[in-house]
């Protein structure tokens, strides 16, 4: 298990660090931030897209489908009660040489990504609140 640390830069902008990588997350100006990075919801949806694309790319590489690249375009909508990402649309582009009879396999692989699984069965979260 990798330690992911999140520390405040300023305002609503936070620095995320994992395995020597760093990136920022912030809210849009309309939501009270300074738009210094993607919002947490955007990161979640982006993680889903990256997970799906990587897993499908591995399948295509393994089977020699290389007439084009795998890419994903996603849109999402927020919902209330509880506040959450309520709907996600994924448009997955795959190489042109993937045979039509492999579309079900591609769908199964895309839906087997660990991030997608979190939307099917929520992970257990153990929240400890520590005074700093």
25/88 same-domain check: no
Confidence of residue 132 (pLDDT cuts 50, 70, 90): confident
**130 inside domain:** no
Q: What gap in Å lies between CA 85 and CA 52, rounded to an integer?
A: 17
The model's pLDDT over 83-112, given as tens digits with 9 standing for 90+, comes to 999 999 999 999 999 999 999 999 999 999
- Domain holding 119, by residue range, is 39-123
Q: Domains in the chain: how many in total?
A: 2
31/46 same-domain check: no
Q: What gap in Å lies between CA 23 and CA 113, rounded to an integer?
A: 23
The stretch 3-9 carries a mean pLDDT of 95
């Amino acid at each position: 298990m990798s330690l992911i640390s999140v520390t405040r830069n300023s305002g609503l902008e936070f620095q995320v660090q994992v395995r020597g990588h760093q990136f920022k997350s912030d809210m849009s100006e309309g939501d009270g931030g300074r738009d210094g990075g993607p919002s947490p919801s955007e990161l979640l949806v982006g993680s889903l897209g990256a997970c799906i694309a990587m897993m499908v790319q591995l399948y295509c590489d393994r089977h020699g489908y290389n007439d084009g690249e795998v890419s994903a375009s996603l849109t999402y909508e927020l919902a209330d009660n509880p506040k959450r990402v309520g709907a996600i649309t994924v448009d997955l582009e795959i190489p042109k040489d993937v045979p039509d009879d492999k579309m079900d396999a591609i769908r199964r692989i895309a839906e087997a990504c660990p991030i997608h699984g979190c939307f099917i069965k929520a992970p257990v979260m153990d929240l400890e609140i520590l005074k700093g």
